[in-house]
Amino acid sequence: MKLFYPSIIVVLFFLSIFDIIVGLINDAVNFLNSAIGSQVASRRTIMIFASLGILLGAFLSSGMMEVARKGVFDPSYFYFSDVIFIFLAVMISDIILLDVFNTLGLPTSTTVSMVFCLLGSAFSIAMIKMISPFNNEPFHHLTLYIKTEKTLTISMGIFLSIIISFTSGAFIHYFIRYFFSFEYETRLKYVGVIWSAISLSSMTYFLIVKGLHSTLQGFMDENLTGFSLYIQYFIRWIHHNFFIFLFILFSTWAIIAKIFVSLGYNILKFVVLYGTFSLAMAFAGNDLVNFIGIPIASLQSYNIWKESGSPPAEKFNMKSLSGNVKVPSSVLIFAGMIMILTLWFSKKTKNITSTEINLSRQNEGPEKFLSNSFSRGIVRFFLYLGNHLFKLFPKRFLVKIEKNFKQKKIQKEENIAFDLVRASANLTISSILISIATVQKLPLSTTFVTFMVSMGTSLSDRAWDRESAVYRVSGVLKVIRGWFLTGLIAFTMAGITAIFLYFFQAWALSFIIFLILFVFYRSYKNYNKIQNQKKEEKPFLGIENLTLETTLSKTFDIIKPMLEYIENIYKNSIEGITQENLKTLHKSRNNFLKVKENYADIHNSLIKVIRKTKNREPIAGIFYLHIYNKIKEIIESSDIITNHTLFHVINSHKPLKYKQKKNLLILELLMMEHFNIIKKITIDENYKKIQFSCMIQNQIIKKIEEQMNQQVMGIINKRYGTKNTLLMLDILLQSKKITENIENIIILYHKSLSHISSKKDASFLAF
C-alpha cells in the first residue's frame, strides 16, 4: 500500500499527456479554422504560425493553477486520499469525454469539461463524507465543501459567452462586409489599411493581455524582479493610458499596412496568420491549466503529505493546498512541445476543424447535418420577421446595401470556405472578446467564443441562405447541445468514477486504466475505419474540365461497384424471403444502407460535376445527369425490395407459397445471368456485346409478366393472401425496373461512344 499513492501520481502524469493530446485535438478548432477555411497559406505555413503561438503561450502560461487546486472545492474540508481520488477521477473522465467528442468531430470546451469534472468528483466525495456515520452532516453543509457560488459564476459566464459571441460576430461583421463587399481586393488600399490596423492593434493588445499580464497576475510585487518588474510597470501604464496605447498601436500598424499594400501584398493574409499565432498563444496560455493543472495540484498535494511525515492519508487535512504555487517553466515547455507534436501529427484535428468550416462555408456543398423541426421553425420565424422588418426601410436604401453583400463571382477555389475578410473578422472579434473578458476577470471558453463568432460572421455574410439555413442552424444547435451535455456528462462521469475509486481503490484504478486503454483502442479503430471510407477516391475530383470521354471513363468507377453491391443485395433478398432467413435479410438491408450512403456522395456532387463540364462540352453533363437518374432509380427499387422482404419476415407474416418461391428462384437465376453479362461489359468496356444483354432482358421481362399473370389468377382463386400478394408484386415490379434501368445505362454508353465518333447533338441521350 506504500506504493499506492506514488503510483497514482505517476498515473496522473501519464494521463496528463493523453489529456494534452485529446485537448489539443479538440481546441485546434479555435485557432486553425480561420486560416484553413480561407486557405490563407499552405497548411504547413499555418501550422508553423500556430506552433510558434503554442510555444510562446506555454512559456508565458500562468503559474497559478488555482482552478484545479481550490477554484471549485475547499481543500481544507478534504483529506489527502479524498483529494487524490478527486483529481484521478477528473483526469480519467476528462480524457474519455474529450476523446468521444473528438471522434464524433464535435468541438467542445476543455474548460467546461474540467470544471464540471472537478465539481462532480468533489460533490461525490463530499456527499460520502457528509452522510458517513462519523459526520452525519446536514445537506446545506455542502456549500462548505463545494464553492457553489464561484462555480455558478464560472458556468454562467462561460455559457453567456455563447450569446454574446454570436451577436457580436454577426453585428460587427455586418459593417465590416458592408465597407469591404465581396470584391474586397479593390478596397484594400483604403478600407483594407484601416481594418488591418484595427485588427492588428486589437490582436497585439490581446497578445499582451493574454500573455504577459496572465503570466504575472496573482504574484505579489515583492516576488517580481528585473525584467518581470519592468513588464508589470508597463502593463500598469497600459491600463492607466489605455487610449494613448491603442492610438500608438493603431498608428504603427496603419503605417506598416500601408507599406505592405503599396508593395502589392495582400495585408489581410498577414492579419490572418498573425491572428492564428495570437489565438494559438492564448489557447496554450489559458487552457494549459485544463490539461496539467490537475497533475501539478496532485504532485503538490503529495509533497505536502510527504513533508508532514506521511501520516494516514485518510486523516491528513489538505488545507495547505490553498496556498500559491509556481509551475516550473520546464514543465510548461514540455507540455507545449507535446501540443505542437499533436498538432502536426494527429489526423483528428482535421476531423474537428471540418465541422466549423462546413457550418460556416460560403460555397455550395453537401451539408453535414440534417434539418429538424426546431431548426425549420427558427428559420421560418426569422424569414417572417425579416420580411416585415425590411418593409420599414426605403427600397432604394436596401438595394444600395444589398450591392455590397452580393457575390459577383463564384469562388475559383472550391476548397476555400470563406474569404480573408471574414477570416480576419473571426480572429479579430474573438481576440477582442477574450481580451475584454481577461481584463474584467470574466470566465469564458475560448472554444465557445471562436465557434460562435464564426457562426455569427457566416450569418452576416449570407452563407446561411434559404438553401442551407435549416441545415446550418440544426448543426449549430447540435454543437451547442453537445456543449451543455459536456457539463452534465462530465459531472456524472467524474462523480461515479470518484465513488468507484473511493471504495475500491487499487482494484478500481487497475480496472479504469484498462478501460481507458480499451476506449482509446476502440476509438482509434473506429476513427481509422471512418477515415478509410472517406479516403475512397472520388472519380471526378481533381479534373478541371470534363469531356464526354473522361465522363464515360470515370462513371465506370461508379457503376462497377454499384452493380456488384446491387447484385449481392438482390440475391440475399430473394434467398432470405424464400427461406425466411431473418439474418440474411438483415444483411441485405445493411448492405443496401451502405450503398445508399455511397450514393449520397454522387447526389451531393451532381451540381459540381456538371459545372466541371463547362460550356465547351455540355453533353458530358447531360450524360452524367442521365447516369445519375438511372442509378437513383436502381437504388430506389433496391430500397423497396430489401425493406419489404425484411418487413414481411420480421412481422411473421405467412410465408410465400411453393409456386411463388419457385418463380422467384427462377427469376433470381435470370437476374444473376443478366448482372454477370452487364459486369463483363463494364469490365471489358466492350459495347458490342450489348445485343446479348437485350436477349436476357427480354427473357426477364417475359418471365416477370408470366409470374404477374399467375399471381392475378392466384388472387382470383383465393390461393394467395393480401400481404403475400403485395410482397410478390413489389419484388416483380422492382425487378423489372432494375433490369430496364441497367439496360438503359448500357445503351447510354453505347450511344455516347457513337456520338464521340459522329459528333451528333445531345438529343440522342433522350429516353
Q: How far apart are CA 767 and CA 655, in angstroms?
A: 39
Strand partners, 79: 317
CA R_g for the chain: 32
Task: Evaluate whether residue 537 is within a structural domain.
Answer: no
The rounded Cα 31 to chain-centroid distance in angstroms is 15
Task: Evaluate whether residue 297 is within a structural domain.
Answer: yes
One DSSP character per residue, 16-38 reads HHHHHHHHHHHHHHHHHHHHHHH
Identify the pLDDT of residue 272. Answer: 92
Task: Evaluate whether residue 12 is within a structural domain.
Answer: yes
Identify the pLDDT of residue 520. Answer: 77
DSSP-derived letter for residue 444 is -
Residues in contact with 633: Cβ distance below 8 Å, sequence separation at least 6, in sequence order: 737, 741
Task: Evaluate whether residue 302 is within a structural domain.
Answer: yes
Task: Determine whether 97 is exposed, middle or buried from the number of CB atoms within 10 Å of its CB (0-12, 13-18, 19+).
Answer: buried
Residues in contact with 748: Cβ distance below 8 Å, sequence separation at least 6, in sequence order: 623, 626, 627, 630, 765
Residue type (1 letter), 469: A
Identify the pLDDT of residue 698. Answer: 83
596 and 496: one domain?
A: no
Q: How far apart are CA 65 and CA 75, in angstroms?
A: 14
Q: Which three cell numbers stand for residue 618?
A: 455540355
Task: Determine whether 181 is exposed, middle or buried from the number of CB atoms within 10 Å of its CB (0-12, 13-18, 19+).
Answer: middle
Torsion, Cα of 692, 697, 698, 699 (10° steps)? 90
> Are 460 and 308 spatial neighbours (Cβ–Cβ below 8 Å)?
no
Q: 3-state SS of the chain: helix, strand, coil percent to 5?
A: 80, 0, 20
Task: Evaluate whether residue 539 is within a structural domain.
Answer: no
Q: How far apart are CA 594 and CA 599, in angstroms?
A: 9
> Are 607 and 701 spatial neighbours (Cβ–Cβ below 8 Å)?
no
92 and 170: one domain?
A: yes
Positive or negative: CA dihedral 448, 450, 456, 462: negative
Q: How far apart are CA 624 and CA 602, in angstroms?
A: 10
DSSP-derived letter for residue 185 is G
Residue spans of the chain under pLDDT 50: 63-66, 68-69, 218-222, 410-413, 537, 690, 764, 767
Q: Which three cell numbers stand for residue 688?
A: 458490342
571 and 435: one domain?
A: no
Task: Evaluate whether residue 542 is within a structural domain.
Answer: no
426 and 279: one domain?
A: yes
Task: Evaluate whether residue 217 is within a structural domain.
Answer: yes
**Domain endpoint, select from 530, 556, 588:** 530
Residue type (1 letter), 728: M
What's the CATH code of the domain at 636?
1.20.58.220
**Domain endpoint, select from 486, 504, 530:** 530
209 and 67: one domain?
A: yes
Strand partners, 146: 73
Tell me the HSE value of 423 on the side-chain side, using a 13 A CA sphere.
29
- Summarised one tens digit per residue, pLDDT across range 224-248 is 555 566 766 777 787 778 888 888 9
Q: How many helices (H) and strands (E) does the chain have?
A: 25, 0
513 and 644: one domain?
A: no
561 and 445: one domain?
A: no
**Domain endpoint, select from 530, 560, 585:** 530
DSSP-derived letter for residue 146 is B
Q: How far apart are CA 616 and CA 41, in angstroms?
A: 32
Tally the domains of the chain: 2
Range of the domain at 583: 548-765
628 and 496: one domain?
A: no
Positive or negative: CA dihedral 243, 244, 245, 248: positive
Residue 260 CB neighbour total at 10 angstroms:
19
DSSP-derived letter for residue 537 is P
436 and 465: one domain?
A: yes
Q: How far apart are CA 258 and CA 275, in angstroms?
A: 19
Instruction: Please name which of 184, 332, 344 lies closest in space to residue 266, comparing C-alpha atoms.
Output: 184
Exposure string of 221-258, with b = 16+ CB inside 10 Å and e = fewer, is eeeeeeeeeebbeebeebeeeeeebbeebbeebbebbb
669 and 597: one domain?
A: yes
Q: Which three cell numbers stand for residue 610?
A: 456538371
- Summarised one tens digit per residue, pLDDT across range 691-722 is 555 677 888 888 888 888 888 888 787 777 77
Instruction: Please name which of 4, 69, 130 lies closest in space to residue 320, comparing C-alpha atoms.
Output: 69
Tell me the HSE value of 536 on the side-chain side, using a 13 A CA sphere.
11
Q: How far apart are CA 205 and CA 198, in angstroms?
A: 11
417 and 524: one domain?
A: yes
The rounded Cα 567 to chain-centroid distance in angstroms is 35
664 and 516: one domain?
A: no
- Summarised one tens digit per residue, pLDDT across range 49-74 is 988 888 887 776 654 444 544 567 78
Identify the pLDDT of residue 64. Answer: 43
Q: How far apart are CA 724 and CA 653, in angstroms?
A: 8
Task: Evaluate whether residue 339 is within a structural domain.
Answer: yes
Q: Alpha helix (H) ranges present in 217-266? A: 227-240, 242-262
Q: Which three cell numbers stand for residue 634?
A: 436502381
| Greatest extent of the chain over all pairs of C-alpha atoms, in Å | 105
Q: SS3 for 111?
A: helix
Extended strands (E) in 251-353: none
